[in-house]
């Protein structure tokens, strides 16, 4: 067998992997990433100079201890359930550990935000549309939410009642604006055959600049030096419930995100619209044959994807910032990786987002808790994401390209493609 | 007579699947040997082994009495074997002569330059020797498919082939071109060449071959002399049971008009006119057939009727209403069933299981999706019913469409479309790729629909199929509907001429009304 055929055989196997196998593959990839990362930590620890070696292997001193780094990473993300600094391989439980801690709140904050953007990307990918524009949809959706809340808040009674009215409305406004901004590349694709990858990327820049101009010139906070809106009153934001130390995380937002996961699954798998959307994504010609209106489905799917991105922006504003501020984090772009990691499955988005959240919050713990520079922590994070995402990425690739071993010889089933039957 | 090829107990397995099972095959020098069998019988696999594309799992290949071990087609070519695949491997803008010598060009100036003049002369000599009618200076893209095939044969001969393998050589030809090809066979065997051709058409094998070997499920089930056998015997060998070969449509009075196509023109995907000014109608309880060589506008015509292509001119009316601009979805809802030409692209979503594929086209119908929510348990029952009634194997509704063989995929599509309770069935190549047993069943079901008073538009490149099933038969050539004939009183030759674009007596044809009833 040639190398190409070998590669095809591997891809075929990967494409055919069952759900259990995929989970096992992801775990194996995680372990591989940790092992490779450990080598990099050791090598960096050899190159750099330090007073005392963090660990000594085979009589050689290293400045960083990979075991410690990874323990701190995962331990930190959970708010230190184990006492990492105690000696021995098995670390004792931390008696003072409370699940509702700051580190874990950071993890969940990131997870929550990425659930929204991950879902946004997953919906478009399932429809066969490569929406790279979740970031732009999130920026504008977030801005709309911030401005809406700021202008409508004075008209409502402050406190719980006002919050109950204003917060859902503000999220709806964010979703609408994000959705409409997503529908633009959808319409361009449907009616002008413009490639959505290009248009969504370009619209990301446009969104960022529009938002910047609007805030810096018209709706900015006059009392602030940075480009940001005037803060929304506290009663109109999603306050940290249950997590006394804060960490900009609201369990309500997470619950809403999880509800959306179920809703998106229901829409995709149980409804006629979802059937149209998935068929368009899998095989546009068959969708056309089955009476799916390709143009309408494209625009609707992009609207939906944009709305989910816009909601992500709304949550970012209401839960994290309490205002809109220039320099929005790249949650939309991370959403692409989350979605790929999840195999574009709405339920898969939750663990994928959790992995991202864990790494993000754990990195902070590593930066503060060990001498490892943050750039190196970034490398370790990137390795894990790369390793875990690659099998899924190749699965996606494998399902889009033709993997038949050799059509001429598949004669046992008569299923050769093409017009060979006459 | 000496033995040219002897395959000795060849077995070939592909990851557990047995494609060829202990096959013996002996081909005498200077004869035409047909390898007959249904799709999936292992014919092509066996020939690919002979051509060195695959190594047999067990068994030996003998050529001219010598055991041979081919690692690649290059070895087979050295041993004097040439293979002409179904899809020609020719360079379109280059001339016939250039294509023939490609890879083995005569050279001049110490091998630095192709000697075009000598190449041309050698090609002329070669085609004269075998009585081929080809012009060495024509570009491949300008010559007919039949000529392209002859160029492929010349290419093999130029490389010194004594044994020619042709994989389904008649699939792309008009009846006249098929006759021409068989004359070429005679000329070649007269000069000592040996020919093996793969076919699943009984008539061809009977007509052109000296010996016929029938493969079934990868096994050799018998080698017979063509002049000592019958269609019935061969069909039974192929299928393993007795088969009703000729579809018979009982005469029946058609009812009201269901579909009327008026002066329809359409373009293909490149914007080139593909259908020009086609008019016909179909009535209840009538099968209207369209014959023609593939690629003469049938696909575009059907797509315009079924709502997948916007016509450039003309109109289509269906059950009395104009549907020229109606959406595909509304046409489905209005009882138009459609067996598409390309089951892998359109007919099935390959990564969906059969439950999901069973509602393709019905995903918005009240039967399966009241209030926009799909009732998956109804969909599953539906898929299982189709699997059961249309004998889709293996009977796994949860398996992806991709995992089924072509014939079973086709049976599932046919079942899905027939079970729509349609008023009009547009059936494009409905039996393509299915075995003779399933073909018989699909033909019967089509005739049942006709008896129930449904209208059927049948498009097929199998002439016997359209001729046997249709009440009226339109023949297409180059986008035009050449004529509408009564298939029962028209010979295959007459239809063949129309398929090739020749109107035998133009005056009479012109006198016919454009929307004619030829009865």
Cα nearest neighbour of B334 on chain A:
A291
Asked if B345's CB is within 8 angstroms of A291's CB, the reply is no
Cα nearest neighbour of B417 on chain A:
A290
**Which residues in chain B touch residue A283, judged by CB atoms under 8 angstroms apart?**
345, 349-351
Chain B contact for A154 (CB, 8 A cutoff): no
Based on the number of CB atoms within 10 Å of its own CB, is B172 exposed (0-12), middle (13-18) or buried (19 or more)?
A: buried
For B364, the closest of A272, A412, A416 (CB atoms) is A272
Chain B contact for A412 (CB, 8 A cutoff): yes
Asked if B14's CB is within 8 angstroms of A273's CB, the reply is no
| Interface with B, mutate which of A13, A404, A413 (most B CBs under 10 A) | A413
The residue behind tokens 């104009």 is B322
Phi-psi group of A61: left, alpha or beta (phi > 0 → left; psi -120 to 50 → alpha; rest → beta)? beta
**Which residues in chain A touch residue B340, judged by CB atoms under 8 angstroms apart?**
289
Note the Cα B488 to chain centre separation in Å: 23
For B349, the closest of A279, A408, A421 (CB atoms) is A279
For B44, the closest of A271, A275, A409 (CB atoms) is A409
Q: What is the pLDDT of residue B127?
A: 85
Beta-bridge partner residues of A101: none
Contact in structure between A389 and A25 (CB atoms under 8 Å):
no
Chain A contact for B298 (CB, 8 A cutoff): no
Interface A:B, Cβ pairs < 8 A: 148
For A282, the closest of B40, B43, B351 (CB atoms) is B351
Chain A contact for B432 (CB, 8 A cutoff): yes
Higher pLDDT, A275 or A75: A275
Q: What is the pLDDT of residue A3?
A: 72
Top-level class of domain B1-80+162-240: alpha beta
Q: In what order do the strands lie in the sheet with B194-199?
A: B81-84, B163-167, B194-199, B32-37, B211-216, B219-225
Q: What is the pLDDT of residue A403?
A: 57
Is A106 a residue whose pLDDT tops 80? yes
Asked if B461's CB is within 8 angstroms of A289's CB, the reply is no
Is A77 a residue whose pLDDT tops 60? yes
For B346, the closest of A285, A410, A420 (CB atoms) is A285
The model's confidence at residue A402, banded by pLDDT at 50, 70 and 90, is low
ipTM: 0.79
| CATH code reported for the domain at A106-357 | 1.10.3470
**Which residues in chain B touch residue A422, judged by CB atoms under 8 angstroms apart?**
168, 171-172, 294, 429, 432, 461-462
Cα nearest neighbour of A276 on chain B:
B363
Which pLDDT tens digit goes with each residue over A108-163? Answer: 999 999 999 999 999 999 999 999 999 999 999 999 999 999 999 999 888 888 88
Phi, psi of A367 (to 5 degrees): -60, -45
Chain A contact for B40 (CB, 8 A cutoff): yes
**Which residues in chain B touch residue A415, judged by CB atoms under 8 angstroms apart?**
40, 404-409, 433
Angstrom CA distances, B196 to B117, B191, B205, B219, stand at 33, 15, 11, 17
Q: What is the mean pLDDT of chain A?
A: 86
| Rounded Cα distance, A49 and A90, in Å | 29
Tokens in use for A193?
């055959």
Asked if A276's CB is within 8 angstroms of B40's CB, the reply is no
| Rounded Cα distance, B66 and B55, in Å | 17
Tokens in use for A42?
């050791």
Angstrom CA distances, B1 to A352, A395, B4, stand at 72, 56, 9
From B446's Cα to the closest Cα of chain A, the distance in A is 20
Contact in structure between B194 and B5 (CB atoms under 8 Å):
yes
Angstrom CA distances, A194 to A197, A210, B313, stand at 9, 22, 28
Asked if A408's CB is within 8 angstroms of B359's CB, the reply is no
3-class state of residue A417 by DSSP:
coil
CATH topology of domain B259-334+424-429+469-519: Rossmann fold (3.40.50)
For A154-180, b/e burial (b = at least 16 CB within 10 A) is eebeeeeebbeebbebbbbbbbbbbbb
Higher pLDDT, B118 or A420: B118
Asked if A286's CB is within 8 angstroms of B44's CB, the reply is no
From B117's Cα to the closest Cα of chain A, the distance in A is 36
Pinpoint the alpha helices (H) of A271-327.
272-282, 284-289, 294-315
Q: What is the pLDDT of residue A207?
A: 96
What does the pLDDT profile of chain B (519 residues) look like in tens digits?
A: 588 889 888 998 877 678 888 899 999 999 999 998 876 678 888 999 999 888 888 899 999 888 888 888 888 888 899 999 877 888 888 888 888 888 778 877 877 777 888 888 888 888 888 888 788 888 888 888 888 888 999 988 888 889 999 988 887 777 788 888 898 899 889 988 999 999 877 888 888 899 999 988 888 988 999 888 888 888 888 877 766 666 666 777 888 999 999 999 999 888 889 999 999 999 999 999 999 888 889 999 999 999 999 999 999 999 989 999 999 999 999 999 999 988 888 999 998 999 999 999 999 999 899 888 999 999 999 999 999 998 887 888 998 898 887 788 999 999 999 998 899 999 998 887 777 778 888 888 899 999 999 999 999 877 888 888 999 999 998 899 999 999 888 888 888 888 888 876 654 444 444 444 443
Contact in structure between A385 and A335 (CB atoms under 8 Å):
no
3-class state of residue B472 by DSSP:
strand
Tokens in use for A417?
């493609």
- B1-80+162-240 with B259-334+424-429+469-519: one CATH topology? yes
Beta-bridge partner residues of B459: B290, B428
| Rounded Cα distance, B470 and B493, in Å | 17
Q: What is the pLDDT of residue A406?
A: 42
Chain B contact for A402 (CB, 8 A cutoff): no
Asked if B352's CB is within 8 angstroms of A282's CB, the reply is yes
| Rounded Cα distance, B483 and B385, in Å | 40
Closest CA to A199 of A268, A113, A116, A299: A299
Name the pairing type of β-strands B286-291 and B472-477. parallel
From B246's Cα to the closest Cα of chain A, the distance in A is 17
Asked if B53's CB is within 8 angstroms of A286's CB, the reply is no
Residue-range domain boundaries for chain A: 106-357
Lowest pLDDT segment from A164-178, A360-374, B286-300: A360-374
From B333's Cα to the closest Cα of chain A, the distance in A is 9
Asked if B340's CB is within 8 angstroms of A289's CB, the reply is yes
Asked if A420's CB is within 8 angstroms of B352's CB, the reply is no
Tokens in use for B285?
């309880």
The residue behind tokens 């370009």 is A202
Peptide bond into B394 cis (omega under 30): yes
Chain B contact for A414 (CB, 8 A cutoff): yes
Residue-range domain boundaries for chain B: 1-80+162-240, 88-160, 259-334+424-429+469-519
Chain A contacts in chain B segment 310-329 (CB below 8 A): 327-329
Asked if B350's CB is within 8 angstroms of A289's CB, the reply is no
Q: What is the pLDDT of residue B314?
A: 94
Which percentage of chain A shows pLDDT scores above 90? 47
């Amino acid at each position: 067998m040639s190398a190409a055929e070998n590669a095809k055989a591997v891809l075929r196997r990967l494409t055919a992997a069952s759900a259990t196998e995929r989970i096992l593959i992801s775990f194996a990839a995680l372990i591989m990433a940790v092992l490779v990362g450990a080598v990099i930590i050791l090598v960096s620890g050899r190159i750099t100079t330090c007073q005392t070696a963090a660990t000594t292997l085979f009589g050689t001193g290293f400045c960083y201890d990979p075991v410690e780094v990874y323990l701190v990473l995962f331990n930190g993300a959970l708010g230190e359930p184990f006492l990492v600094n105690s000696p021995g391989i098995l670390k004792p439980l931390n008696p003072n550990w409370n699940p509702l801690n700051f580190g874990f709140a950071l993890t969940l904050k990131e997870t929550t935000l990425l659930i929204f953007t991950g879902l946004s990307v997953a919906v478009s990918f399932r429809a066969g549309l490569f929406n790279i524009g979740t970031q732009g949809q999130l920026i504008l959706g977030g801005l709309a939410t911030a401005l809406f809340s700021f202008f409508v808040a004075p008209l409502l009674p402050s406190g719980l009642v006002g919050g109950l009215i204003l917060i859902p409305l503000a999220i709806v406004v964010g979703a609408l604006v994000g959705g409409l901004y997503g529908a633009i590349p959808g319409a361009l694709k449907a009616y002008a055959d413009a490639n959505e990858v290009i248009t969504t990327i370009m619209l990301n820049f446009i969104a960022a600049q529009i938002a910047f101009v609007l805030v810096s010139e018209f709706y900015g906070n006059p009392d602030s030096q940075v480009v940001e809106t005037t803060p929304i009153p506290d009663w109109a934001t999603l306050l940290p419930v249950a997590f006394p130390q804060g960490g900009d995380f609201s369990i309500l937002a997470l619950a809403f995100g999880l509800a959306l996961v179920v809703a998106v699954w229901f829409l995709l798998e149980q409804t006629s619209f979802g059937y149209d959307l998935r068929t368009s994504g899998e095989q546009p010609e068959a969708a056309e044959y089955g009476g799916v209106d390709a143009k309408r489905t494209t625009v609707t799917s992009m609207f939906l994807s944009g709305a989910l991105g816009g909601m992500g922006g709304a949550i970012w504003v209401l839960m994290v910032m309490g205002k809109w501020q220039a320099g929005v984090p790249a949650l939309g772009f991370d959403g692409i990786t989350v979605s790929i990691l999840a195999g574009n499955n709405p339920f898969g988005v939750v663990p994928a987002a959790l992995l991202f959240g864990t790494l993000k919050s754990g990195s902070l713990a590593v930066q503060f808790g060990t001498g490892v520079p943050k750039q190196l922590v970034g490398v370790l994070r990137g390795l894990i994401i790369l390793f875990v995402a690659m099998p899924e990425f190749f699965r996606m690739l494998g399902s889009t390209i033709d993997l038949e071993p050799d059509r001429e010889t598949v004669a046992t089933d008569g299923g050769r493609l093409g017009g060979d039957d006459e | 007579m000496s033995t040219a090829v002897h395959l000795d107990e060849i077995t070939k397995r592909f990851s557990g699947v047995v494609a060829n099972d202990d096959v013996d095959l002996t081909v005498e020098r200077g004869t035409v040997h047909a390898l007959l069998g249904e799709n999936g019988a292992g014919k092509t696999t066996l020939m690919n082994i002979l051509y060195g594309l695959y190594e047999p799992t067990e068994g030996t290949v003998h050529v001219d009495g010598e055991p041979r071990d081919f690692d690649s087609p290059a070895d087979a070519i050295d041993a004097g074997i040439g293979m002409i695949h179904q899809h020609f491997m020719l360079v379109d803008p280059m001339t016939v002569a250039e294509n023939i010598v490609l890879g083995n060009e005569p050279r001049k100036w110490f091998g630095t330059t192709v000697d075009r003049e000598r190449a041309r002369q050698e090609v002329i000599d070669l085609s004269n020797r075998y009585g081929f009618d080809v012009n060495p200076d024509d570009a491949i893209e300008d010559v007919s498919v039949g000529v392209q095939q002859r160029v492929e044969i010349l290419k093999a001969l130029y490389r010194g082939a004594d044994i020619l393998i042709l994989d389904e050589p008649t699939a792309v030809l008009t009846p006249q071109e098929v006759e021409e090809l068989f004359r070429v066979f005679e000329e070649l065997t007269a000069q000592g060449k040996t020919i093996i051709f793969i076919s699943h058409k009984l008539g061809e094998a009977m007509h052109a071959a000296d010996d016929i070997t029938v493969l079934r499920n990868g096994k050799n089930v018998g080698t017979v002399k063509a002049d000592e056998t019958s269609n019935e015997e061969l069909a039974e060998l192929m299928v393993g049971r007795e088969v009703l070969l000729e579809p018979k449509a009982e005469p029946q009075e058609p009812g009201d008009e269901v579909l009327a196509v008026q002066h329809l023109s359409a373009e293909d995907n490149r914007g080139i006119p593909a259908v020009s000014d086609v008019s016909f109608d179909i009535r209840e309880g009538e099968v209207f057939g369209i014959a023609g060589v593939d690629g003469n506008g049938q696909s575009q015509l059907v797509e315009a009727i079924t709502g997948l292509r916007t016509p450039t001119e003309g109109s289509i009316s269906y059950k009395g209403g104009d549907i020229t601009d109606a959406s595909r979805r509304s046409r489905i809802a209005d009882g138009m069933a459609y067996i598409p030409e390309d089951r892998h692209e359109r007919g099935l979503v390959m990564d969906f299981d059969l439950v999901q594929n069973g509602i393709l086209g019905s995903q918005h119908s009240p039967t399966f999706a009241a209030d926009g929510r799909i009732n998956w348990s109804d969909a599953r029952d539906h898929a299982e019913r189709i699997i059961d009634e249309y004998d889709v194997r293996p009977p796994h509704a949860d398996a992806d469409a991709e995992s089924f063989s072509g014939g079973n995929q086709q049976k599932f599509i046919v079942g899905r479309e027939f079970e729509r309770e349609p008023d009009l069935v547009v059936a494009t190549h409905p039996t393509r790729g299915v075995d003779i047993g399933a073909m018989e069943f699909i033909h019967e079901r089509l005739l049942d629909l006709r008896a129930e008073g449904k209208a059927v538009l049948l498009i097929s490149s199998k002439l016997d199929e359209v001729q046997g099933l249709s009440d009226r038969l339109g023949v297409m050539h180059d986008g035009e509907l050449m004529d509408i004939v009564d298939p029962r009183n028209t010979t295959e030759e007459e239809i063949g001429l129309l398929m090739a674009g020749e109107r035998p007596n133009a005056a009479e044809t012109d006198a016919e009304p454009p929307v004619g009833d030829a009865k």
